[in-house]
């Protein structure tokens, strides 16, 4: 019996262990899948929703297509003027009279006063004044002035005329950006939903999490369909090729509006004066007596017949003129002048009112634009806050074994994408508001109206560009995925590898490939102090490392040398300036304190970076001297040892001081593991 119980317990334990082993294997598999999903979501230091392409921006705001704008009325006036010039006022007339009553038409009846004459006449009538030769020339001058007026109005209102086309194209461009982001989000949430089901069946989460993911999925599908349907309509209606390629949201800048330039428009005042003078000329030509007095020259051939006479006996030629003068033109001259003045005054007042109304609209749009810009900046900082939260979660989640933490990171990434979608929408609203402002101006370029904002400066969450050195111990302790994600999350732009033993060669290659994919520059560090005097050897090694091993560049380390060697190093560096200039951006030189300002300035002009190592972080005087080397400022980097700081906050404060006070734009951090430990200490302190 005891043996049977022992056997039963053994079998039960084996089943439990087997089930636990299966569960652990499933958790490990899900953990790896979550790791890959997080890796695919790791964002770079800043979003791609901004750019600096002002040329494309200006082209966008000045798009035109005759198919989608009102025709210029000036062309109509020009055709009317040409038509009026050709109209000589000469008319051919033919009249036939049947059973004419002699009492009514005595001058046209024969001498016998027959009551039943048949009579005809034909000939020419030439109007010289109103509607005739001189009247039409006068009318043509008036129409030409009207043409100039319409041209000027069209010139002043052209941006408003083309508003429809530009407005819809802008919506199309930003819809394309939203579709791109939403499609990426849709793919991520679909993969996340698949993993959530697996975690749910392992009793790891509530079904509520799955419902939330499904809700997000459906919302994104609806949004994508809305944006795509609108863009399909635009493509079919406007038929403008390559819109999506010509204008891309990520290349268009964020900007402030120069309201003073828009409001203080001297050129528009000159155009308004020209408009007023043309109005006066048109009114002057509109109130001339020549338009009301009629003077006609007439030449007719009369033909007539009755029962007793032949056709020739009743035919004769007649010539004369007709003058028709309205009597009021002799008495209402002052009234006409006053009417002309009132009409001119009314037009001027209307133009002034329209101008004031335009200015008022511009100010209202400007206030609305600033509100949208304020909201955009709030979301910008919100985006950076979520980036920092994600970074800290990744730092505290090195092995990605904790599924719940992985899911929390993915939720933060979902929120980050939602923030970026909102930023695209706000950017669209800002662009449309500027378009409305631009539509109330006559400018042919939007560039003087805007002041681009350096968004890269806002996204520079961690001041100064950063390089970090990774040693062999770091390669052994961390895997390539963690190192790459950590570097991306901390804004590292360049990694320097030291010489490693063959045991870590494979890890180095794996990390090298991931860094390449993440667009992080990869350099090789080479201690150069022991190769002084062997110029050809150094050049050969540099060529091999860059060509054979495909490194982006080489760092020559001349630091940590005995004092007696510094003079020799200085002479060597100066003697081989041709080599440094030839290698240029592919070479960095690292030295410690004690070299001349002249050497630092000269090398900074030749190489990618001259990296200087102070004796201590408190060596402020030396930092001040480095900052004073004006020619070397942009290419000078300061070497920082991470293990000299108590936590990450102190390190960041030090880098911020270098950047803000001493204008140091580049830092080289030694000690990847020490750098991570600073983050860990900071997290512990925060907890």
538 and 409, same domain (yes or no): no
The answer to whether residue 338 is domain-embedded is yes
Summarize the confidence of residues 237-252 as an average pLDDT. Answer: 83
**Whole-number pLDDT of residue 686:** 46
In this predicted structure, the answer to whether residue 178 has a pLDDT above a threshold of 90 is: yes
Within 13 Å and on the Cβ side, how many CA atoms surround 350?
Answer: 9
In this predicted structure, the answer to whether residue 310 has a pLDDT above a threshold of 60 is: no
In this predicted structure, the answer to whether residue 421 has a pLDDT above a threshold of 50 is: yes
Last residue of a domain, one of 405, 428, 457: 457
Last residue of a domain, one of 422, 437, 457: 457
The answer to whether residue 148 is domain-embedded is no
Share of the chain above pLDDT 90, in %: 12
For tokens 């428009």, name the residue: 265
- The pLDDT tens digits of the residues spanning 535-560 come to 556 666 676 666 556 788 888 888 87
The answer to whether residue 151 is domain-embedded is no
Q: What is the tally of structural domains in the chain?
A: 3
The answer to whether residue 364 is domain-embedded is yes
Query: pLDDT-based confidence at 429, cuts 50/70/90?
Result: very high
**Whole-number pLDDT of residue 6:** 54
Cβ atoms of 650 and 675 within 8 Å: the answer is no
Q: How many CB atoms lie within 10 A of CB 557?
A: 22
Summarize the confidence of residues 32-41 as an average pLDDT. Answer: 71
**Whole-number pLDDT of residue 655:** 87
The answer to whether residue 140 is domain-embedded is no
The answer to whether residue 149 is domain-embedded is no
253 and 370, same domain (yes or no): yes
Last residue of a domain, one of 423, 457, 491: 457
Please give the Cα distance from 407 to 308 (Å, whole number).
Answer: 121
- The pLDDT tens digits of the residues spanning 629-677 come to 644 446 888 899 988 888 888 888 888 888 888 888 889 999 898 988 8
Query: pLDDT-based confidence at 147, cuts 50/70/90?
Result: low
428 and 513, same domain (yes or no): no
390 and 538, same domain (yes or no): no
The answer to whether residue 11 is domain-embedded is no
In this predicted structure, the answer to whether residue 586 has a pLDDT above a threshold of 70 is: yes
490 and 445, same domain (yes or no): no
Structural domain range at position 322: 25-69+162-457
In this predicted structure, the answer to whether residue 487 has a pLDDT above a threshold of 80 is: yes
56 and 109, same domain (yes or no): no
**Whole-number pLDDT of residue 194:** 85
Query: pLDDT-based confidence at 330, cuts 50/70/90?
Result: low
Question: Which of 172, 42, 121, 555 has its CA nearest to residue 305?
Answer: 121
65 and 112, same domain (yes or no): no
Question: b vs e for 309-322, b when ≥16 Cβ sit within 10 Å of the residue's Cβ?
Answer: eeeeebeeeeeeee
The answer to whether residue 182 is domain-embedded is yes
DSSP 3-state percent helix, strand, coil across the chain (nearest 5):
65, 15, 20
* Domain CATH for 483: 3.20.20.80
447 and 509, same domain (yes or no): no
484 and 379, same domain (yes or no): no
Please give the Cα distance from 544 to 674 (Å, whole number).
Answer: 31
> φ and ψ at 613, to 5 degrees?
-110, 110
**Whole-number pLDDT of residue 229:** 94
Q: Which residues contact 565 (CB under 8 A, 6 or more apart)?
A: 529, 532
55 and 108, same domain (yes or no): no
338 and 472, same domain (yes or no): no
288 and 382, same domain (yes or no): yes
Q: Is the pTM of this model over 0.85?
A: no
Q: Which residues contact 581 (CB under 8 A, 6 or more apart)?
A: 606
Share of the chain above pLDDT 70, in %: 69
In this predicted structure, the answer to whether residue 419 has a pLDDT above a threshold of 90 is: yes
- The pLDDT tens digits of the residues spanning 76-117 come to 666 776 676 777 777 788 877 765 455 445 554 444 444 456
Question: Which of 404, 305, 401 has its CA nearest to residue 98?
Answer: 305
Query: pLDDT-based confidence at 534, cuts 50/70/90?
Result: low
Please give the Cα distance from 123 to 101 (Å, whole number).
Answer: 22
């Amino acid at each position: 019996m005891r043996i049977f119980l022992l056997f039963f317990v053994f079998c039960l334990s084996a089943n439990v262990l087997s089930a636990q082993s299966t569960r652990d294997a499933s958790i490990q598999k899900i953990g790896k899948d979550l790791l890959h999903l997080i890796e695919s979501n790791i964002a770079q230091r800043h979003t791609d929703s901004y750019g600096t392409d002002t040329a494309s921006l200006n082209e966008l705001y000045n798009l035109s297509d005759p198919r989608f704008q009102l025709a210029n009325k000036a062309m109509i006036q020009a055709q009317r003027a040409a038509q009026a010039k050709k109209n000589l006022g000469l008319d051919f007339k033919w009249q036939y009279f049947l059973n004419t009553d002699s009492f009514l038409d005595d001058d046209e009846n024969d001498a016998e006063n027959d009551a039943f004459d048949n009579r005809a006449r034909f000939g020419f009538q030439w109007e010289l004044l109103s509607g005739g030769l001189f009247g039409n020339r006068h009318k043509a001058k008036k129409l030409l002035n009207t043409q100039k007026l319409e041209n000027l109005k069209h010139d002043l209102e052209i941006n408003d005329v083309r508003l429809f086309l530009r407005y819809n194209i802008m919506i199309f461009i930003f819809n394309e950006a939203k579709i791109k982001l939403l499609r990426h989000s849709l793919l991520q949430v679909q993969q996340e939903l698949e993993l959530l089901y697996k975690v749910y069946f392992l009793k790891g989460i509530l079904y509520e999490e799955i419902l939330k993911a499904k809700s997000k999925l459906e919302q994104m599908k609806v949004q994508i369909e809305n944006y795509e349907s609108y863009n399909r309509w635009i493509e079919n209606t406007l038929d403008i090729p390559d819109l999506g390629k010509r204008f891309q949201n990520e290349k268009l800048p964020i900007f402030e509006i120069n309201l003073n330039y828009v409001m203080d428009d001297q050129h528009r005042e000159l155009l308004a004066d020209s408009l007023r003078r043309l109005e006066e000329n048109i009114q002057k030509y509109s109130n001339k007596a020549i338009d009301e007095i009629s003077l006609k020259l007439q030449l007719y051939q009369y033909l007539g017949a009755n029962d007793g006479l032949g056709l020739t006996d009743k035919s004769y030629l007649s010539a004369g003129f007709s003058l028709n003068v309205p009597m009021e033109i002799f008495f209402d001259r002052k009234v006409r002048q006053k009417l002309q003045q009132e009409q001119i005054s009314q037009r001027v007042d209307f133009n002034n009112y329209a101008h004031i109304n335009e200015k008022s609209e511009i100010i209202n749009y400007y206030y609305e634009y600033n509100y949208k810009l304020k909201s955009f900046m709030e979301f910008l900082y919100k985006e950076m806050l979520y980036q920092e939260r994600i970074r800290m979660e990744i730092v505290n989640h090195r092995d990605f074994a904790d599924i719940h933490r992985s899911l929390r990171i993915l939720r933060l990434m979902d929120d980050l994408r939602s923030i970026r979608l909102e930023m695209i929408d706000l950017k669209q609203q800002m662009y449309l508001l500027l378009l409305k402002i631009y539509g109330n101006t006559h400018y042919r370029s939007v560039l003087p109206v805007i002041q681009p904002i350096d968004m890269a400066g806002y996204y520079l969450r961690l001041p100064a560009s950063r390089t970090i050195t990774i040693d062999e111990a770091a390669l052994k302790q961390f895997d390539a995925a963690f190192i790459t994600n950590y570097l991306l999350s901390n804004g590292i732009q360049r990694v320097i590898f030291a010489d490693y033993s063959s045991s870590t060669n494979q890890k180095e290659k794996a990390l090298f490939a991931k860094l390449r994919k993440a667009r992080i520059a990869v350099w090789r560090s080479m201690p150069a102090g022991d190769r002084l005097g062997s110029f050809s050897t150094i050049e050969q090694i540099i060529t091999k490392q860059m060509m054979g091993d495909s490194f982006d560049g080489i760092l020559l380390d001349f630091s940590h040398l005995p004092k007696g060697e510094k003079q020799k190093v200085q002479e060597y560096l100066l003697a081989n300036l041709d080599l440094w200039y030839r290698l240029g951006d592919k070479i960095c030189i690292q030295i410690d304190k004690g070299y001349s300002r002249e050497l630092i300035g000269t090398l900074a002009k030749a190489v990618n970076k001259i990296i200087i190592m102070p004796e201590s972080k408190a060596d402020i005087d030396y930092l001040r001297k480095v900052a004073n080397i004006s020619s070397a400022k942009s290419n000078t980097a300061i070497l920082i040892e991470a293990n000299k700081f108590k936590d990450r906050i102190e390190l960041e404060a030090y880098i911020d001081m270098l950047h803000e006070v001493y204008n140091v734009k580049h830092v080289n951090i030694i000690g990847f593991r020490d750098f991570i430990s600073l983050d860990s200490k900071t997290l512990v302190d925060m907890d």
